[in-house]
Amino acid sequence: MSSDTRSDRARDAVRSATTSGRIALKRVLQSRLFRWRYRGSPLHQLLIVPQDLRTADPSFASEIYHGHFGLAGTIALTGAESPFRIRPPSREWESALHGFGWLRHLRAAGDEISREHARALVRDWIAFYRSISAFPWRPEIVARRIISWLSHASIVLEGADRPFYDAVMASLSEQIRYLGRNYKDAPDGVPRLTALTALNLAGLCAAEEQSAAAAYDKAFSEELKRQILIDGGHVSRNPMALIDLLLDLLPLRQCYIARDWPPPDALTLAIDRMMPAIRFFRLGDGNLARFNGTGATPTDSLATVLAYDDVQGGPVAHADQSGYCRAELGDTVLIADMGAAPPASVSARAHAGCMSFEMSSGRNAIVVNCGAPGRQDRDWRLVARSTAAHSTLVVADTSSSRFLSPATREDSPAEGRLSGPAKVTAKMMSLPGSIEIEGEQDGYEPRFGIRHARTLKLEQNGARLTGLDRLTAPHGLKGEARQDQVALAIRFHLHPEVRAQLSQDGRTALMALPNHEGWQLASDDALITVEESVYLADTKGPRKSLQVVLNRTLDDGTTEIGWTLERSATKILAPSDLDDSETAPDELPLG
């Protein structure tokens, strides 16, 4: 057993014991005996109401009125029963239910029936959860509920009778005080920053909570500085986290302006950095690159966020703090993951995709990663996080990162922390007529003694990408690499709209884009195959796709595999799209 493995297990044991102790203490503090800790003078007046920037669907009001409560990709049939009284179909559905973000749909309906329905559901929640219970009172869910109740106070409180009004304000007061004492227990990353955002919103909106904004200003600013990196990326390395945060941070900034209070400098600076970072991660088709937990891009939310961009600053080429590189020539865009794993505390959704890349030509994505699946397809999460689900080199069908034990017993193996690669180096060079990205990572060194270096060179006004994958063993091969022929596979996962087939001589893979544009992938150093793949970053669920694979075995010394991806000189007839129907997971192998 290696020392690294022993130290990892020791840290897990300490973390488990610490977590168990915190859970036991939390249960005591949530009991009725200690509930007085969260009581105080109830709120009486809301001075302002935050804007909810998330897209609303008025048809949702009719659906839930008829007993169809669709949340987090799952529909629960409630019938005449309150949704708070049925068995939740999934944890994600239950979290969305208690977060009350669906109030925006009822508000969008704009009729009295929807208003009454909203009040009835809020009344149910207050009645059913008078005692603090575990799941609905998780800090991250409480934060989401506070933001939702504040943002949609008009549909809940306007025209309400006095007893109901007082009950809502009393519950809101209790939740704010509870969150103020427990926000540090929210999972690290977006959930904890959202909890502090909720506390600041409460301080700005509620007349009796004005001191709260000042009380949590320092913690909020420090958390922003820690989570939003200098280049505008998020500490989790998940591009989607930027959209999720801005949908709350932008209304918070507007509330400061509405109250004629100066926003914290950290808030203004964070927003100014995040906007160019979002543009950094966009490919030519307008979607975010699928790295480290990013799945289907919510185009409505993305457009909303970018509409608030007051800076219009251009994205950097090398986001070295976030660990990404962007090359753009002509109408070709390439984005590569050239960073190490994020901190363990925010790595539960991170992917083992080091040195993978995505590329688009014009408005068409060509090479992609499989992406993160939607909430309704959580069984795919572990597959999506593997190196094989990314467009990079894979050694012996193993991942370049290790997936450690989940943070809590309630978490699935797919939510385990990510470990490694420990050392990743990267640099970019802009040369006349070309852009070159170089990187090296040690993710395979502990098991095989191998280091992987990759060079990507975009040239000819974006019409040609030259790649070189190089494997070395600076301290000698380890384990099975010293005895067996280790299989190497360089995977190029293709967007579902791209078709591919081998040339007649089998030495080139020909690709057709929907706009009749042709590309070809060639290599003299490996056997080329076209295989099935799966595209997980689709709102409709997993879709069939293809992947081009360069196959080779590891040499005793240095192994080099060169390849070129080049645009064809002439337009070609694009084959028809693949079947987009839902397919069972075992029918969609990654190869």
Read off the tokens for 328: 């753009």
| Mean pLDDT of the chain, nearest integer | 88
- Condensed to tens digits (0 to 9), the pLDDT of residues 322-333 reads 999 999 999 999
How high is the pLDDT of residue 588? 42
Q: Say if residue 13's pLDDT is above 70.
A: no
CA distance 38 to 178: 5
How high is the pLDDT of residue 312? 74
CA distance 182 to 142: 10
Q: Say if residue 41's pLDDT is above 60.
A: yes
Amino acid letter, residue 53: L
569: part of which helix (H) or strand (E)?
A: none
Alpha carbon 457 to its chain's center: 28
The confidence band for 412, taking pLDDT boundaries of 50, 70 and 90, is: low
The confidence band for 212, taking pLDDT boundaries of 50, 70 and 90, is: low
- Condensed to tens digits (0 to 9), the pLDDT of residues 60-93 reads 988 988 889 999 889 999 988 999 999 999 999 9
Percent of the chain with pLDDT over 70: 87
The confidence band for 39, taking pLDDT boundaries of 50, 70 and 90, is: low
DSSP string, 479-532: GGGGTS--EEEEEEEE-TT-EEEE-TTSSEEEEE-TTS-EEEEE-SSSEEEEEE
Highest mean predicted confidence (pLDDT) among 13-27, 57-71, 303-317, 508-522: 508-522
How high is the pLDDT of residue 244? 97
Amino acid letter, residue 555: D
Region of poorest pLDDT, from 134-138, 209-213, 346-350, 559-563? 209-213
Collapse the DSSP code of 137 into the 3-class scheme (helix H, G, I; strand E, B; otherwise coil) and give the result: helix
Burial group, residue 417, by CB count within 10 angstroms (0-12, 13-18, 19+): buried
Residue 156 makes CB contacts below 8 A (sequence gap 6+) with 103, 118, 119, 122, 149, 168
Q: Say if residue 20's pLDDT is above 90.
A: no
- Condensed to tens digits (0 to 9), the pLDDT of residues 247-301 reads 999 999 999 999 999 999 999 999 999 999 999 999 999 999 999 999 999 999 9
The confidence band for 582, taking pLDDT boundaries of 50, 70 and 90, is: very low
Domain map (residue ranges) of the chain: 319-587
> Measuring CA to CA, how many Å separate 511 from each of 497, 502, 503, 571?
10, 9, 10, 11
Dihedral Cα 505, 507, 508, 509, nearest 10 deg: 90
pTM tops 0.85, yes or no: yes
Collapse the DSSP code of 402 into the 3-class scheme (helix H, G, I; strand E, B; otherwise coil) and give the result: strand
The conformation of residue 209, written as its DSSP 8-state character, comes to: G
CA distance 67 to 395: 50
The conformation of residue 84, written as its DSSP 8-state character, comes to: G
How high is the pLDDT of residue 67? 86
Q: Are the C-beta atoms of residues 322 and 277 closer than 8 Å to each other?
A: yes
How high is the pLDDT of residue 126? 96
How high is the pLDDT of residue 315? 76
- Condensed to tens digits (0 to 9), the pLDDT of residues 416-466 reads 889 989 899 999 999 999 999 999 999 999 999 999 999 999 999 999 999
How high is the pLDDT of residue 406? 66
CA distance 45 to 216: 21
Burial group, residue 532, by CB count within 10 angstroms (0-12, 13-18, 19+): middle
How high is the pLDDT of residue 40? 54
Q: Are the C-beta atoms of residues 246 and 271 closer than 8 Å to each other?
A: yes
Q: What number is the average pLDDT over the span 161-178? A: 94
Region of poorest pLDDT, from 17-26, 49-58, 265-274, 456-465? 17-26
Specify the CATH number of the domain 319-587.
Answer: 2.70.98.70
- Condensed to tens digits (0 to 9), the pLDDT of residues 143-154 reads 999 999 999 999
Q: Are the C-beta atoms of residues 227 and 194 closer than 8 Å to each other?
A: no
Dihedral Cα 135, 139, 145, 151, nearest 10 deg: -170
